[in-house]
Amino acid sequence: MRRVIFNQKGGVGKSTITCNLAAISAIEGKRTLVVDLDVQGNSTQYLLGQKVTDSDRTIAHFFKDTLSLSLFGNNNSSGLDGIIHETPFPNLFVIPSHPDLEPLQGRLESRFKIFKLKEALDKLEGFDDVYMDTPPVLNFYSQSALIAAEKCLIPFDCDTFARQALYVLMQTVAEVKADHNQSLEIEGIIVNQFQKQANLPRQLVDELIAEGLPVLASMISPSVKVRESHSISQPLVHYVPSHKLSDEFRALYAELHGA
């Protein structure tokens, strides 16, 4: 299964959700890959403990290769296989981000390379689950991920402005589905930073549910443990496996898999 975690609003927890769901998938025995398409590289640092300085082993290198196809069809690119990194966690792998993504974007758009990620993932073997972390904007990389994905997860942080942005975002996903990826489905809205004792978050969530939006039942609470797990580069199920937050992510994973 290929999932993209996408929201055009920053700070909603995309990287945290991406890496923690992927870590649970790996613990469940599935060979799992995270593709970090955000130039900030938060998922990369979360899983590897550092940014990757060698651009030859990052997603930027893959996209550079798509720009260097020979006139006679001789392409030395090895697809995605050569840029996959092992993480310290069994069954969990990552294709790192790199700052070179930023200057590449205009050239990739002008050369119509928007389907290259999907084509490469179609050819990639040996992985049960793929999670794609995206930048907080609709750009070439987030569109590439939406085109390559089967399911889209949308983090929502219980903010009035986030609610307005949510409608635009869902329309964007619908347009990508109609124009480029008929198999793409919104799997659910993940309510993040949910303070169940506060009135506004509960009201916002209840209104989204009343409107028939696909709000997932499993919600993620705010906790300092998230930042702590970022700082030591360990997903929550490894850092604090018995913590409430780890249980919430396990419940979310189980809900996505129909358990």
For residue 79, pLDDT over 70 is answered with: yes
pLDDT band at 69 (very low <50, low <70, confident <90, very high): low
User: Exposed, middle or buried by CB within 10 Å (0-12, 13-18, 19+), for 186?
Assistant: middle
Is the domain spanning 2-6+10-256 CATH 3.40.50.300? The answer is yes
Q: If you average pLDDT over residues 171-180, what whole number do you get?
A: 96
Instruction: Tell me the C-alpha distance between 225 and 248, whole Å.
Output: 13
For residue 77, pLDDT over 70 is answered with: no
Least confident of 150-154, 167-171, 176-180, 186-190: 167-171
pLDDT, position 162: 74
pLDDT band at 196 (very low <50, low <70, confident <90, very high): confident
pLDDT, position 259: 61
- Domain boundary assignment for the chain: 2-6+10-256
pLDDT, position 101: 97
pLDDT band at 187 (very low <50, low <70, confident <90, very high): very high
Closest alpha carbon to 62 in 49, 72, 52: 52
Instruction: Tell me the C-alpha distance between 59 and 43, whole Å.
Output: 13
More confident call, 172 vs 55: 172
pLDDT band at 99 (very low <50, low <70, confident <90, very high): very high
pLDDT, position 84: 97
Give, for 108, the enclosing helix (H) or strand (E): helix 101-110
Residue-averaged pLDDT of the chain:
93
Q: If you average pLDDT over residues 232-253, what whole number do you get?
A: 98
